[in-house]
Structures are given as structure tokens and as C-alpha cells.
Chain A
């Protein structure tokens, strides 16, 4: 039964020790593949021609759009992990959303900064408070809030449950970001790649964009697995320090009893 075999494999990964073993095996490969994909993506980005209207500034799209997609994908991964924490109490679920939050904040910051740098020559302004830009800025603030919340609580279990609720409530912002350009009048252009009726971008620009999107996605998953491994190690260090403190306390008690 292949389904049972897949389920068994997934259940095996719920064990942090098995996850660490897998991470140490696949991380070098993932890092290598990410570097190769970025090399190809950057070559295609700079080898291509400029747009007839935007000129060479179309190249900003190859970093802006993948970063914007990842800012939403990262939050979706965190929402799935939050469900894993609240419903199944999966041992790696809270590790996953805690590790993903700084990555999501970084990709959202890239999207905001490059969007602003694209907006100035194309729109004539660095920033407008339209629905798309504002909802992405709110997403950035939510990432910062979740990072602060996780660091403010000493008990990782309690922090994970509180963060999970907040992540799931905040997930309402993801469809708002996606459809903001259709629901409201915005300076930001409507969707041109992921849309009903297919992409409206010429293949000259689509291929470098897709290659850079795959490279950024691989970078995210590589860093996410590495950050999850770090978080498991951090929790083990805390647990072992507590164990060391207990052992030291027991030794002191025994010495006092012998002295008395």
C-alpha cells in the first residue's frame, strides 16, 4: 500500500531526531541546487531584452515578484504549521512556524524595498497607501509581531499556541493581498502571471521570472530546514541546561545532608 508507506514516512519525520538526520543529509544538496538556480536565473535576467515601455527597469521584476510571492507562501506555510500545532500537536509544527517568521519578514522587506525602487521610475513615487502596498506592509508588521511574541515568552509550548492562533487570524490578510488589485482601484498593476486565462507576460520575461521564482523558493526551503534544525538544537540546549542545573542542585542537597 503506497499511501500507508507515505504516511509512515511522514510520521517518521515527526520525530525531531529523524528530522535532524534528514536535514543534515539534504541541506548541502539543497544549497548547491539553490546556487545553481540563482546562477541560471541571474544570467537569464541580465541576458534578456528590455520592455518596450519600461525599458531595463523590467529587470527589477525578477527579484520583486518572486520575493512578493514568497512573502505570501511563507505565511501560508506558517498557517499550515499553526494548524499542525493546534489540531495535531505535531512536534515539529511550532518549530516550523517559529523558524519561518524571520524568513517571511526578510522576503517581505525585499518585496517592499524593490517595489518602492520600481515604483519611483515607473509611477513617479516611492510609495502610495493603496490597497496592495498597504496590505503587504501590514503583512510585514505581522511577521515582526510574531517574531516579538515568540521571543517574549519563555515557554516554547505556550508561545507556539498563542502564535498559532495569531497566525490563523492573520491569514485573512493573504487573500486580501492577492485580490486587492481586483477589489479596489490601486496604482499597483493587476495580476499578470497567476491569473484566470493564463499569463499575459511575454515568454522573454516569463522564463527569467519563473527561474528566479524557483531559485527564491529553493532558497526559502533551504533556509527554513536549516532554521528548523537550529531551533531543535536550541530547545535541546535549553533542556540539557535545565538537566545540568537539576543535577547540580541534587549534588548540593546530598553534600548538605552528609554534612548534617
Chain B
């Protein structure tokens, strides 16, 4: 095997692991954000959460 193979494999593996990590964090964030939005839409809010305009006063 040539040196080029080891260099390409090193950068390839580093890129693959980094991209998997970025995708996992991004997808996790999107899923949690969607769950929170669904819960708030069904009227379940934290006590300290700001109240929507219609419920103020």
C-alpha cells in the first residue's frame, strides 16, 4: 500500500467520524426541539415559561 492510501484513510476516517458527530448532535437537537414544541402546543408548559399573549393579564 502506498503512503497516499494511509493519508486518504486517515482524513477519510476523521471526516466520517466528525460528520457522524455533527449529524447526531443536529438531529438530536431537531428532535428535542420538535418534542418541546408539540408539548407546548398541547398546553403543557413549564411554570416559569413566559405566557402566550392571549393568556396574559
Which residues does A use to contact B, with CB under 8 Å?
17, 55-57, 59-60, 63-64, 67, 102-103, 106, 109-110, 113-114, 117-118, 120-121, 219, 223, 226-227, 229-230, 233-234, 236-237, 239-241, 243-244, 247
Within 8 A of A (CB), among B35-55: 35-36, 39-40, 42, 44-46, 48
Q: Which residue of A lies closest to B7 (CB)?
A: A59
> Taking the complex as formed, is B57 at the interface, i.e. its CB lies under 8 A from any CB of chain A?
no
Which B residues are in CB contact (< 8 Å) with A223?
A: 21-22, 25
Q: Say whether, besides A60-B10, A63-B10, A106 and B17 are in contact (CB < 8 Å).
A: yes
Which B residues are in CB contact (< 8 Å) with A230?
A: 25, 28-29, 32
In terms of DSSP, what is the predominant structure of the interface of chain B? helix
Q: Say whether, besides A110-B14, A240-B46, A56 and B7 are in contact (CB < 8 Å).
A: yes
Asked whether, in the complex, the Cβ of A67 is within 8 Å of the Cβ of B14, the reply is yes
B contacts with A, residue count (CB < 8 A): 31
Asked whether, in the complex, the Cβ of B6 is within 8 Å of the Cβ of A120, the reply is yes
Question: What sequence of 0s and 1s flags, for each residue 1-35 of chain B, a beta carbon within 8 Å of any chain A beta carbon?
Answer: 10110110111011001101110111011001101
7 additional A-B pairs beyond A17-B48, A63-B11, A240-B44, beta carbons within 8 Å, are A102-B21, A114-B10, A117-B10, A223-B21, A229-B29, A230-B28, A243-B46
Which B residues are in CB contact (< 8 Å) with A240?
A: 36, 39-40, 44-46
Asked whether, in the complex, the Cβ of B39 is within 8 Å of the Cβ of A237, the reply is yes
Asked whether, in the complex, the Cβ of A114 is within 8 Å of the Cβ of B13, the reply is yes
Which B residues are in CB contact (< 8 Å) with A113?
A: 10, 13-14, 17
Which A residues are in CB contact (< 8 Å) with B1?
A: 121
Asked whether, in the complex, the Cβ of A110 is within 8 Å of the Cβ of B11, the reply is no
Asked whether, in the complex, the Cβ of A118 is within 8 Å of the Cβ of B10, the reply is yes
Q: Say whether, besides A103-B21, A226-B29, A237 and B6 are in contact (CB < 8 Å).
A: no
Asked whether, in the complex, the Cβ of B39 is within 8 Å of the Cβ of A241, the reply is yes
CA distance A245 to B6 in the complex (A): 55
Which A residues are in CB contact (< 8 Å) with B21?
A: 102-103, 106, 223
